[in-house]
Every structure is written in C-alpha cells, then in structure tokens.
Structure 1
C-alpha cells in the first residue's frame, strides 16, 4: 500500500507540467579522468610488492572515494598485462575495486564481489554486535539488510542458470547488479534498468526475479525458434534511482546514464573476441536515463526497449546511438507516469519514431497462447503478458516478431 501511495504522489508530480530538458553534453570519460584512473590502477598493482596491508589500504582509499572512472578499454589492457600472481593478489586483497572495474571478465568480477560481500557482511555484523550509538546502529542495520538482500538475490534456483554478482557498492550498499546467465559467454546480453524508488535493500531480490523471468522467456523463444545461443539478463541497480522529490529533476538520470554507459562499454571491452547482441530493457525513469546515455553517444546498443517512460530528452529515435528500427516503446493506457511526458516527447508517440510495443491482452499469433495485459505502471514484466513476450524477443534480436495491440484482442506484428 505504501508503494502505491508513493507512486501516485510521484505520478501527480510528474503530471503537473513538463520540463524542458536541454540536449545533454557528452558523458564520456574525459582524457584527464582516463589518465588519472590508469595511474591509480598502476599504483594499486605496484602496492602488491609492499605486502597485503599496502594493497588493502590502497584499495580501501579507492573504494571510499567512489570516484574512479576508468575507461573499460584501459581497464582491460591493464588487467591483461598483469602477472598472474599480481592479479590473484588483487582479487584477494582488493576485491571491492576489482569487482567493480568495467572491462574485466565477469567471472573475475563475480568472484571478487562475492569475496567483498562476504567480508563486509561479517564486518558490519561484528560492528553491530560490539555495540555502537543508536544512529550508527540504524545505519549499519540498513546497510547489513541491503547486503543480505544481495546474498538472497544470488541464490540460484535448482536447475536455473548461474548467477553472477556483476557489481556491488560495499561501502553504502546503494548499487548492485546481478546477472542471470553468463555474460562472458552469452550471445545475447540484456541490461534491465529500473526507474524511481528502486533500492538495493528493497528491490534487488524482486528486480533479479524479474530479470530471471525475462531470461527464461528469452530462452524459451530461442528454443521455440530453433536458435542457437544463450541469453543473459543483468538486473542492474547501478545508479541511485530518484525518490519522490528528485524524480522531478534530470540529475539522477544523468548519473545513471554515465554509469550505464560504462557498464555497456565494459561488456564490449571484456569480450574483444566476440560480439554479443546487446540490448537495454528500461522501465520508467530508467528509460530516461538510457535515453540520456544513447543521445549523448556515450554507448551504442543493438536494441532499446522502453516501457512506462515519462518522456525523452531526445526528440526522435534517430538521435539515439541505436540501429534504425531497433527502438521500441510501449505503455499501458492507465499508466499515469508514461502519460506525463514530463521529460519531453513520449517515446510511444508516432512522432518519436519508435516501434510500437504491445502491452494489452490478446492471442499470440505464433503460439496461439492467450497473453495477458500489463496493468498500471508496474505490470509490464508479468509472466504471461504480451509486454514480457515482446521485451524478450527484442532482447534476442527478434524485434520483427514483436506484436502491437489490435482491435478486439487481435494482435498484429508491429514492424511494417
């Protein structure tokens, strides 16, 4: 009930009047940031010769600042040049840094982040046990709860695909990402980007379950269409999503855009010898963040699917770094957030140039299965819905099979 009330308040705020969002400046990592980050990484590796304590101290300084913006391509080159013993030492003694470096193999990041998670949970638990002031205890308890929720999200159901801890903020537990399926090997990788009111503590488990539903639907369609390959979906709470006040501004979207661009380019850098199909599936304010990144040309993806988005800073799909015809948008007729167009033109408007993504009920023209309608702002990912079906197909490069709503429950293919 509380979540519904907050959503209604946010929707009311968004419908009070649209804002004019100026075209975003490039959000690429600057030359100065690149040089500084490379120097920091070389210093970290150099600390290995001074002993474990020196490595841990250097790593703690990096993690505490949370200001290292390294270009993923630079990270990949740095890592590949390290002696095996140095790399192993850094994984052991600097897991909070290694696990969050975009451009490293996801198997390396997963192992490092799991180490950081385990150690931090134990350390925070000890602090609570040993006693602290009331205010500090409340903050520690909230942090511990968030980290324990990450542990829950990582639990792999019997027979299900492997899960990878792609990123983790061990200091504040405000950001985390869990992959369903192996992003090092999958032919199709989809970043699932959330909107407002999402936090690691309250939503990482549910958002990871949503990623699992999407990955399962993608896998089912790959099998149904006799397509080879595996799919991986990343439950990406990689930015601080807006609350009821900050949702009225573009600042959180710009921060999310920078972090999302780094994550997507990190995938490319980590897999130089392969070329996976990369998609973004974005919900609500997360769509605005993705649009900011793609309009600034800080990253390129093979497909973009958006549902429930409150407006685009780009006036037309052609302004995005996405191939022509691979931008999809849908909304439920009763979704007040999507109807607000608060941040610019609605991606579902014909003038925007996206492909319509059906969200209503009807019969699947391929399987003859009855598909359910998305209901409201948070219903787009329900299993058995037309919207989840369409989002899954977009994520595996089968956008030509996406359906749009028709009359009297009939569904037609959306592409011309």
Structure 2
C-alpha cells in the first residue's frame, strides 16, 4: 500500500516538473526524545502569494535551463526504471512459495523506490512547484505521501517545514534502529565499520536536535543519511520569523564531525540576535514565538505527522496572531558536501552548494508568500564561494550577505550578486585563505564593493562588552568575538551598527539603529 502511494507521489511530482510551473540536503546514543518531537500547535499554510515562474537551477558551467529543456525527463526515466519488472529476481523465485516471492519482490520494490526517490532529490522540481503541488493535496493525501516516502517529503523544498521535520525524524529514528539491529546481528568487519560510522553520524544529528522541550524549538529540515550525510537544523520558526539567518559552512565541516558544534554556533547567533532586538526595542528579550509549540515528546508517529500537517494548514502567514516583537530563526545548514584538502581546489562542490543554497532560499520564498522575512546568508570559507555562485547564477536572492575567510569569488563585484541590502566581508589578520583570490575576485578588495566587517576585536560602545578578536581561519565563530557580534547584527538588518575598525565606530550608537527592528 505504501509502495503504491510512493509511486503515485513520484508520478505526480514528475507530471508537475514536466508540465507545471517551472521554478527555480561520535556521540553517545541519544534518548528516544531526541529523534521525536511534538507537532507544532500552529504553523502557517503553504499557499504561495506568487504564481510567477522562476527558472530552474543550472549545473556547473551550464546556463539556467528553461521549462522547455529536458529537466523532467530524468524524473520520468527513474519512474520507468521503477515500473520495470525485476526479471532476474522473478526468475529466481519461480516455483517457490508465494510468501517468499512476495517478500523478495517487496525488497526489490523498496530498493527501486529508494533509488527513484534519490534520483528525484538529486534533480528536484522547483520549490514553488512543490509548494503548489503540496497545497493541492488534501490532508489525507499529504499524510499518505509523508508516511509512504518520508525521505522524499522531508527533503523537498516547498513542503512545509513542520511536515519535513516530522518526516526526517521518522527516517532518522528508523535508520538508527535498522543500523543498531544490523550491528547486533553481525556483518562483515568492513560493513560493521561503515555502519558504525554512519550510526555515530546519526547519533550526532540526534544530539544536535536536543530534547523535545528545547528552547528555541528545533526542526530537522534536511536529512541525508548516506555517505558523509547532510543535515539542516532550524532554531526558531522559519514560517513566522521576521529575520532568518542561514549559516553556510566551508572546508572540513561535516555532519558527523561538526553538526553539534554548528548548531551550537547557530544557537549563539540566535541568542545574540534576540538580545540585540530586545535592546533595540528598549525592553526585555521577547519570549520566542515557539512557546506555542507543544514541548512533549510524542514520537514521530502517523498521528504526529497528521498533526503537523493539520497545523501547517491552520494559519496563513498574514493571518498569524500579531506580535509586535520581532522574532528570529537561525539555520545550521550543512546542505552540501564541503571539501577537504584533496578537493578544495575544485569548484565542483561549490556548484553543488550553489544549487542547494538556491533551492533552500527559493523554498523559503515559496512558503512565506507575501509575508517575506529579512533573509541573510552568513557564509564561511568555501561556503562564501558557493553562496556567491548561488546569488549570481540562480534566481535566489537575499537581503544581506556576510562573508568571512573567503577564498575568492567568481563574481567580479557586489553588483553581480542578487543582494538587496549590504554585502559584508570579514578577514582575520592571520587567515591564509583571505586575500588569496583563489577562486576569482577578492571580496576584501575595495574594487569588489563589499563593506568591511571588523573581526579584530574591540569594545562595544553600545553594550560596553569587551569583544575578542579572530586571528585565524577557524576563529570567526568563537563566542564573545567582534565577528559574532557583527554577524548577529547583519542577520537582523542593522548594517549601520556593524563595526569596520575605523574611527566611525565611535559614532555607532543606537541612534543609527534601523527603525522597526
């Protein structure tokens, strides 16, 4: 039954991509509550305010394809392959009992479905098309899709984040269970080593999600359990936040080795932004809007998935309960494979990052409709190159871009980037990557047009805090640094309060704060 539902899901996505509007993923074993969460009590609908078509995202060195190019063909091919009868297996089970035949057939079918889903995720439909498709399903159809294909639904930009979170937690929990049973059951040493490494990576994701009652609430909106993995964890509510900041990593950042640390960094940015907004509002820090989210761990069950989808349909962004206090959401985003020493000289992974970043941003745009937040990319190292590719070669745009430790830009100047506000660059004195211009123009050069963001350390004249300096390539996200202060301010649209290390910093008082923050 679930297999049939999955096939229908893939088929509908294929039709959508071809004919629809074109537009431009070693810890201790966690408690069960770490991979399960209550569905949000309230979340906005996925109805998009715009029916306009966006071009799809291109591959390395290619132009942006149009709706008439054979982008949907790959999806159709995967479905044809899925529908083809497994002749070899059928011959093998001929003459055996029906129960064995059914079991083998189901296993083959499951493997084929998984392969088809991964093919779709490798070249997904445009986020706005996905959003329109999801909105057209009734509640029962949405639930069946999420239950039948959680790996697919959980990673499709354009599906509501509450649903993706529940679907991805299902995959996380079930994969952990299967790997644990496999290790106990016994396999070859090589497979045990591989599976143990994968299991530790998944434990790290569960650790990063924290308990169900974590404040701010966390959602797992990207999950790839294969290979080095991918994971994106949101702190806050992407559907209601006034300010959204994506942290884009660079070289050496991996899910298994760094997801907990990356989420901790996003949490520090979140806390700093909330504190600044409270200060700017001349009031105490606002209680996160996520308090409306139920905190009990109910498990990722069909009932929980159904509750998540009911919540996603309950309230449109423009109908949300008005709250004068601005809110934030930060995303610890590891949605692409970052490079290591042996492949960091190539742009191949930057193009992968470009496509993933663009899809992420376009997905948020599709879901928020007329209620768009202030969106920032806070990018480090190789992630700055991927971000600039996304903002120069795809339809994706942001309100602010901050780059620290950048190895260079394929874009010649900020004018080539789709950034409606300011572009900032920060460079530590002893960072060998900054000023290297390895991938093109140096964002730190005055001719590039970016504004300088000081990371050297200073005394904050507004809060009177002593801020530490960042000296090396990996110190920009250290707590208590001038770099972290400035990144937080960029994320909430306070460009004039960002220090640049000049005498003008003495004039950066609350009087320069942007009204309405």
Decide which of 264, 278, 288 is 2:361's aligned counterpart.
264
- Of 223-232 and 234-243, deviating more is 223-232
Question: Number of residues paired by the alignment?
Answer: 383
Match of 1:134 in 2: 189
Match of 1:228 in 2: 325
- Per-residue CA distance 1:50-89 (angstroms, 9 max, x = gap): xxx7996675233343424210011001111112111111
- Per-residue CA distance 1:198-240 (angstroms, 9 max, x = gap): 1110011111111111111111111111182111111111000
Match of 2:270 in 1: 215
Between the aligned partners of 1:276 and 1:373, the Cα distance in structure 2 is: 31
SS in 2 for 1:267: helix
Match of 1:115 in 2: 170
SS in 1 for 2:326: coil
- 1 or 2 for the larger relative contact order (CA 8 Å, sep ≥6)? 2
SS in 2 for 1:405: coil
1:89 is the counterpart of 2:89: no
What's the TM-score, normalizing by structure 1?
0.85
Between the aligned partners of 1:278 and 1:40, the Cα distance in structure 2 is: 36
Q: Structure 2 unaligned segments of length 5 or more: list them.
A: 1-59, 81-105, 282-323, 513-517
1:345 is the counterpart of 2:452: no
> After the TM superposition, which residues 109-258 of structure 1 pair with which residues of structure 2 at under 5 Å, given as runs?
109-156=164-211, 160-172=215-227, 174-226=229-281, 228-258=325-355
Offset of residue 319 of structure 1: 0.7
1:361 is the counterpart of 2:415: no
Offset of residue 331 of structure 1: 0.7
1:69 is the counterpart of 2:124: yes
Offset of residue 360 of structure 1: 1.2
- Of 82-91 and 257-266, deviating more is 82-91
Decide which of 312, 315, 318 is 2:409's aligned counterpart.
312
Decide which of 385, 388, 391 is 2:484's aligned counterpart.
388
SS in 2 for 1:266: helix
Between the aligned partners of 1:27 and 1:267, the Cα distance in structure 2 is: 20
8 Å CA contact 2:252, 2:339 repeated in 1: yes
8 Å CA contact 2:273, 2:488 repeated in 1: yes
Decide which of 388, 391, 395 is 1:298's aligned counterpart.
395
Q: Call closer, same or farther: CA 1:342–1:34 in 2, change over 3 Å.
A: same
SS in 2 for 1:359: coil
Decide which of 399, 421, 426 is 1:330's aligned counterpart.
426
- Of 65-74 and 138-147, deviating more is 65-74
Q: Call closer, same or farther: CA 1:122–1:27 in 2, change over 3 Å.
A: farther
Q: Call closer, same or farther: CA 1:135–1:280 in 2, change over 3 Å.
A: same
Between the aligned partners of 2:134 and 2:75, the Cα distance in structure 1 is: 11
- Of 362-371 and 311-320, deviating more is 362-371
Between the aligned partners of 1:413 and 1:33, the Cα distance in structure 2 is: 53
Q: Structure 1 unaligned segments of length 5 or more: list them.
A: 1-22, 44-52
8 Å CA contact 1:295, 1:314 repeated in 2: yes
Superposition CA RMSD, Å: 2.7
Offset of residue 130 of structure 1: 1.3
Offset of residue 287 of structure 1: 0.3
Q: Call closer, same or farther: CA 1:89–1:140 in 2, change over 3 Å.
A: same
